[in-house]
Amino acid sequence: MDSISIQDAIMESSSQLAMGVTFGVDPPKQQVDVDIATHISIYDDIDGPKRSLLLVETADRPGLLVDLVKIFTVINVNVESGEFDTEGLLAKAKFHVSYKGKAIIKPLQQVLANSLRYFLR
């Protein structure tokens, strides 16, 4: 009797999802023409001076989370934790971020917000 590990099952499910097997490989026939504005907010985290809270709301699309992480990587912003949710066509992300182990200072907050706005438009 062949046994499959949980890790193998997860990998198989993930690859099926990535290849569109779960939901189908064909995109919807009808395109939705909706303009969703991108909103970015950065706050000092209430948990202390070692991280900041980044909130992003933008139009959902394939690869969005990967693109967000690429932007963080280029700017050297560390993501300590995050939550990602979608509501229809709207993606909402909440990240606890830091720079060199500290909360993000105002000038870097502006760089991060501008970079996100530029690449998410």
Mean pLDDT value across the chain: 80
Paired tokens of 50: 């070692």
Q: What is the pLDDT of residue 73?
A: 92
Q: What is the pLDDT of residue 20?
A: 52
Q: What is the pLDDT of residue 9?
A: 47
Q: 27-52 burial string, b = 16+ CB within 10 Å, else e?
A: eeeeeeeeeeeeebebeebeeeeebb
Q: What's the distance, CA 49 to chain centroid?
A: 23
Q: Low-confidence residues of the chain, pLDDT below 70? A: 1-34
61 contacts: CB under 8 Å, gap ≥ 6: 91
